[in-house]
């Protein structure tokens, strides 16, 4: 049914624009999710290319045109559901409502500012009256020794007055219009591209960990002449990569020193005093960091740490090295797997929410 423009008052206009804003951002976050998944990696552009201008390719603009086309389809759906005969009629009404609202906002803010200034003048008058009375009373109580007293030095503290301007209809409309602009679209797509790459990276790393686990087990079984096949270097990189504070990364790199490890390996199959000191510090540091990063496994990690520390004093160096690498990798893998599981769960939950929201509106989003 066609809607007469004059039949809507200003409150109804604000409600209409609020519904339009809600519809636009629901479309952006729910309905167009398949579109973003399909095209996000197209916007995986290096920052250097963006700065130089090489990153803005015709291919990206073509995706943008498809985006605008789909956006307009959803907007037409809203216009039809609201009872307007055409998009022109809808936006003429919106423009008229926005123009009236801008004038009304200015008048409202002018009245509010005048009211605040009046309150401030009233407060100043009351303050001056109270100061005059206080000074008169002090003069009556003063004696000749206080004739030169200039007062207590306190001045008037004007109260801080804050007020918030209501959100205007022009602000709401501008927020809707901004999602159709290329810079907004491109920035949004680049964020989604980074998110997609992160998820893909986590999945790839999880698969690689499974492969490395098999290879590493074989290396540890065949450990000869204390040649660890650079397993320590790999462990060092992964443990340091788990640290979130720069000072802990620095400490991790210092304690897990590759040169000291290699020197210990070269010295042979018996742990001398220098090797024992290095191993004790190394095992204690690494396993305590793993306990912090995996509190659920705290007791288990601590027990393994104590066993390896005991081994340092009497077992062959080869056995100590093998046990240390084996146990440390087990817990590092577990921590990385927990991170991957968490991100998968968050991604799946977000997708499920979008699917349910889309289903409620009669849409379908691919799994």
Contact call for residues 323 and 348 (beta carbons, < 8 A): no
**pLDDT value of residue 306:** 94
Backbone phi and psi for residue 171, each to the nearest 5 degrees, phi listed first: -65, -45
- Rounded Cα distance between 133 and 304, Å, is 80
What is the crossing angle of helices 58-81 and 10-26, to 10°? Answer: 140
| pLDDT band with cut points at 50, 70 and 90 for residue 152 | very low
The pTM of the full predicted model, rounded to 2 decimals, is 0.55
**pLDDT average, residue stretch 24-39:** 86
Q: Largest Cα–Cα distance of the chain, in whole Å?
A: 102
**pLDDT average, residue stretch 199-222:** 76
Q: Mean pLDDT of all residues in the chain?
A: 79
The domain segmentation of the chain, as residue ranges, is 1-131+168-192, 223-359
Give Cα 205 distance to the centre of its chain. Answer: 22
Question: 300: number of CA atoms within 13 Å, CB side?
Answer: 10
Q: Is the pLDDT of residue 159 over 90?
A: no
Quick one: how many helices (H) and strands (E) in the chain? 13, 0
Which value, in Å, is the radius of gyration of the alpha carbons in the chain?
A: 35
- Rounded Cα distance between 215 and 124, Å, is 81
Q: Is the pLDDT of residue 83 over 70?
A: yes
DSSP-derived secondary structure letter, 31: I
* Span 312-343, pLDDT tens digits: 888 888 888 889 998 999 899 888 888 877 87
**pLDDT value of residue 52:** 59
The CA-to-CA distance between both ends of the chain, in Å, stands at 37
**pLDDT average, residue stretch 27-33:** 85
């Amino acid at each position: 049914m066609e809607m007469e423009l004059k039949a809507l008052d200003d409150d109804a206009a604000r409600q209409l624009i609020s519904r339009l804003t809600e519809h636009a951002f629901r479309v952006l976050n729910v309905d167009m999710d398949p579109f973003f998944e399909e095209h996000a990696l197209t916007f995986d552009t290096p920052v250097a290319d963006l700065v130089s201008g090489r990153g803005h390719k015709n291919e990206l603009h073509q995706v943008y045109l498809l985006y605008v086309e789909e956006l307009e389809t959803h907007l037409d759906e809203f216009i039809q559901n609201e009872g307007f005969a055409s998009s022109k009629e809808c936006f003429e009404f919106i423009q008229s409502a926005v123009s009236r609202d801008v004038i009304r906002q200015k008048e409202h803010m002018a009245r509010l500012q005048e009211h605040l200034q009046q309150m401030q003048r009233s407060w100043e008058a009351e303050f001056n009256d109270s100061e005059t009375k206080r000074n008169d009373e002090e003069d009556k109580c003063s004696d000749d020794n206080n004739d030169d007293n200039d007062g207590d030095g306190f001045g008037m503290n004007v109260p801080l007055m804050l007020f918030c301007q209501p959100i205007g209809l022009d602000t709401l409309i501008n927020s809707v219009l901004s999602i159709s602009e290329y810079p907004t679209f491109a920035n949004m797509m680049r964020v989604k591209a980074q998110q997609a790459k992160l998820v893909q990276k986590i999945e790839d790393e999880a698969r690689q960990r499974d492969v490395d686990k098999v290879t590493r087990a074989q290396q540890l079984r065949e450990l000869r002449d204390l040649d660890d096949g650079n397993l320590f270097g790999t462990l060092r990189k992964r443990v340091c990569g788990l640290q979130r504070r720069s000072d802990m990364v620095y400490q991790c790199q210092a304690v897990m020193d590759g040169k000291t490890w290699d020197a210990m390996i070269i010295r042979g199959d018996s742990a001398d005093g220098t090797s024992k000191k290095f191993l004790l510090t190394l095992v204690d540091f690494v396993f305590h960091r793993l306990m912090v990063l995996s509190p659920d496994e705290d007791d288990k990690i601590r027990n393994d740490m104590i066993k390896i520390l005991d081994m340092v004093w009497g077992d062959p160096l080869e056995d100590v090295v093998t046990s240390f690498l084996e146990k440390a990798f087990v817990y590092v893998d577990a921590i990385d797997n927990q991170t991957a599981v968490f991100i998968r769960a968050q991604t799946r939950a977000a997708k499920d929410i979008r699917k349910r929201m889309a289903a409620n509106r009669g849409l379908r989003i691919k799994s």
